[in-house]
Amino acid sequence: MARIDKKLEQIDLQHQIMELLRNDNGVTSHFDYHVNLVSENETVLLNLLTFNPRHEDYMLFHTTKGNSSIDCLKKMIAFIKTQLPQQQLYSYTIIWKKWNEQSEHISYFRAADEQTAIEKFLHEKNPEDYRYSVTQNPIS
Q: Is the pLDDT of residue 140 over 80?
A: no
**Which pLDDT score, from 0 to 100, does residue 98 have?**
93
**Which pLDDT score, from 0 to 100, does residue 110 have?**
86
Tell me the sheet residues that pair with 49. 30, 60
**CA distances (Å), 96 to each of 49, 91, 132, in order?**
18, 16, 4
**CA distances (Å), 55 to each of 50, 101, 103, 105, 116, in order?**
12, 11, 9, 7, 21
> Which pLDDT tens digit goes with each residue over 79-131?
988 865 666 678 899 999 999 889 999 998 888 899 999 999 999 999 999 99
CA–CA distance, 72 with 64 (Å, rounded to integer): 6
> Which pLDDT tens digit goes with each residue over 6-57?
999 999 999 999 999 888 778 899 999 999 888 778 899 999 999 988 888 9
Tell me the sheet residues that pair with 90. 111
